[in-house]
């Protein structure tokens, strides 16, 4: 993810989204419920059911936010919404009773850096009140920070800030990232390679840095003396010149990831450079290819490369039809849209499309070739993130219009 000046538009790939394009996208918004039909062909025997017709409906009434980047369920039948500028709000589903949960504005950089990137509630939030944030920090040198805060009566006590990870950054973009807690209780953090293009520092293939990886750490007993512990079953524990915290590597800019609520598979969208936006199913110790490979081939197609031992994406798509940058999504396990159960939903930042992908069964290998995504619904101005409400229904975040949408059956 690459943010430019906050008065401008957010850019998350090398294709360059401009203010002019953002204006065109706003004018091209579909009216009403933003409805686009999905795959309607009848099923053949043994094939999965057809995808349903769905719509995007307001999740928070008329509430709007300033460059929202994260949304999720909050106790009391409420939602939290994180803004790039550093505010995290909590409010009811009707958009009322809105209050500021966290104010990070004095701690983050949104002029050169990317501001607030991710927010997550601790698995034990209702007991311990821990709120987690990942952001690009203010001041020099360039660095991103994973921090924990304590919430009391729907407000963070600023004195409780604990910096758990401080990551020196070579630049001000491609910093990731997403905070997610796995079914094992561990904290997973996706990190970009920290460069502007093709990873000139070669962080993606360097196990000696956390950049370009998914990190897995144990924060259940975080304290100033020991902010985190390394799980002993991490794949590179004890490997010479490798960081013990790494779970998987070979990523350019992994923007949004999520665990399947059933089975626990970790899905991730990795923003491409030339013409490949990737969806990856992240494997323990896996090398997902960057900066040697992109999509299902070499980063530079005219040159040969050695991809032996690398894990290809489950799918990848190009930059045609106004597409530019993948937004990782969620596996649907809700009850409202039965035909979507088990389907992975993800999107494209520029086109505003929500795509549907039926994952390979079990531990089946990806197909090994480019698979075009199926458009489920479109019409989001700039689709920056997905989330789930307390019922497991899908929320979609519109960065440019500041709206939060809910996926609904039609």
pLDDT at residue 400 in the model: 96
Determine phi and psi for 23, rounding to 5 degrees: -65, -40
pLDDT reading at 245 higher than 80: yes
With beta carbons less than 8 A apart as the criterion, state whether 149 and 219 touch: no
Alpha carbon 388 to its chain's center: 13
User: 403 or 23: whose pLDDT is higher?
Assistant: 403
pTM value is: 0.90
pLDDT at residue 49 in the model: 74
pLDDT at residue 210 in the model: 99
With beta carbons less than 8 A apart as the criterion, state whether 252 and 272 touch: yes
- pLDDT, tens only, 33-85: 333 333 333 334 456 678 999 999 999 999 999 999 999 999 999 999 999 99
- pLDDT, tens only, 357-386: 988 766 555 555 566 679 999 999 999 999
With beta carbons less than 8 A apart as the criterion, state whether 374 and 383 touch: no
Q: In 10 A of CB 133, how many CB atoms?
A: 25
Q: In whole angstroms, how far apart are CA 160 and each of 124, 136, 152, 169, 376?
A: 17, 19, 11, 25, 43
- pLDDT, tens only, 289-313: 999 999 999 998 768 899 999 999 9
Range name among 100-109, 150-159, 222-231, 340-349 with the lowest pLDDT average = 150-159
**Plot region of 303 (φ>0 → left; ψ -120 to 50 → alpha; else → beta):** beta
Domains of the chain, residue spans: 2-409
Q: What is the token pair recorded at 184?
A: 């094992």
Average pLDDT, the chain: 88
Peptide bond preceding 291 in cis form (omega within 30 of 0): yes
**Plot region of 77 (φ>0 → left; ψ -120 to 50 → alpha; else → beta):** left
Instruction: Give the integer Cα–Cα distance in Å for 94 and 207.
Output: 46
With beta carbons less than 8 A apart as the criterion, state whether 267 and 257 touch: yes
pLDDT at residue 33 in the model: 32
Instruction: Give the integer Cα–Cα distance in Å for 91 and 100.
Output: 9
**% of the chain exceeding 90 in pLDDT:** 79
- Residue whose pair of structure tokens reads 């025997």 in the numeric block: 45
**% of the chain exceeding 70 in pLDDT:** 85
DSSP letters along 41-77, please?
A: PPPPTTSPPPPPPEEEEESSTT---SSEEEEEEETTT
pLDDT reading at 356 higher than 90: yes
With beta carbons less than 8 A apart as the criterion, state whether 395 and 388 touch: yes
pLDDT reading at 164 higher than 80: yes
pLDDT at residue 4 in the model: 36
CA-nearest of 63, 110, 107 to 89 is 63
CA-nearest of 337, 344, 351, 357 to 410 is 337
- pLDDT, tens only, 105-132: 999 999 998 999 999 999 999 999 999 9
Q: What is the token pair recorded at 376?
A: 């489920």
- CATH topology for the 2-409 domain: Neuraminidase (2.120.10)
Instruction: Give the integer Cα–Cα distance in Å for 361 and 138.
Output: 44
CA-nearest of 162, 225, 213, 158 to 189 is 213
With beta carbons less than 8 A apart as the criterion, state whether 88 and 100 touch: yes
Q: Which residues, 6+ apart, have CB-to-CB distance to 387 below 8 Å?
A: 70, 71, 72, 73, 79, 330, 394, 395, 397
Q: Which residues is 81 bridged to in the sheet?
A: 71, 89
- Residue whose pair of structure tokens reads 């489950």 in the numeric block: 314
């Amino acid at each position: 993810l690459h943010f430019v000046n906050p008065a401008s538009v957010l850019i998350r790939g090398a294709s360059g989204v401009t203010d002019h394009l953002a204006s065109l996208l706003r004018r091209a918004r579909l009216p009403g419920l933003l409805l686009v039909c999905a795959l309607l062909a009848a099923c053949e025997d043994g094939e999965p059911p057809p995808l349903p017709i769905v719509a995007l409906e307001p999740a928070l009434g008329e509430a709007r936010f300033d460059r929202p980047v994260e949304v999720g369920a909050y106790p009391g039948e409420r939602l939290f919404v994180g803004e790039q500028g550093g505010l995290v709000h909590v409010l009811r589903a009707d958009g009322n009773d809105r209050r500021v949960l966290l104010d990070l504005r004095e701690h983050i950089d949104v002029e050169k850096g990317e501001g607030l990137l991710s927010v997550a509630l601790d698995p034990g939030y209702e007991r311990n009140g821990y709120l987690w944030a990942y952001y690009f920090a203010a001041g020099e040198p360039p660095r991103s920070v994973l921090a924990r805060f304590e919430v009391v009566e729907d407000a963070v006590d600023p004195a409780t800030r604990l910096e758990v990870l401080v990551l020196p950054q070579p630049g001000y973009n491609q910093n990731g990232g997403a905070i997610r807690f796995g079914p094992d209780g561990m904290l997973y953090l996706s990190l970009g390679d920290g460069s502007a293009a093709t990873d000139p520092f070669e962080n993606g293939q360097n196990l000696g840095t956390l950049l370009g990886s998914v990190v897995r750490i144990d924060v259940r007993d975080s304290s100033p003396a020991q902010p985190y512990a390394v799980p002993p079953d991490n794949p590179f524990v004890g490997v010479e010149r490798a960081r013990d915290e790494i779970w998987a590597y070979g990523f350019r800019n992994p923007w949004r990831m999520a665990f399947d609520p059933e089975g626990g598979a970790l899905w991730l969208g990795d923003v491409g450079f030339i013409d490949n936006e990737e969806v990856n199913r992240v494997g323990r110790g896996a090398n997902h290819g960057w900066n040697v490979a992109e999509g299902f081939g070499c980063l530079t197609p005219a040159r040969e490369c050695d991809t032996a031992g690398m894990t290809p994406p489950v799918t990848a798509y190009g930059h045609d039809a106004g597409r530019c940058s993948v937004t990782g999504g969620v596996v649907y396990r809700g009850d409202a849209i039965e035909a979507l159960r088990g389907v992975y939903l993800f999107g494209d930042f520029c086109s505003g499309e929500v795509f549907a992908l039926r994952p390979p069964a079990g531990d089946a290998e990806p197909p090994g070739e480019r698979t075009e995504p199926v458009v489920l619904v479109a019409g989001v101005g700039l689709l920056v993130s997905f989330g789930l409400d307390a019922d497991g229904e899908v929320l979609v975040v519109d960065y440019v219009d500041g709206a939060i949408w809910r996926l609904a059956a039609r």
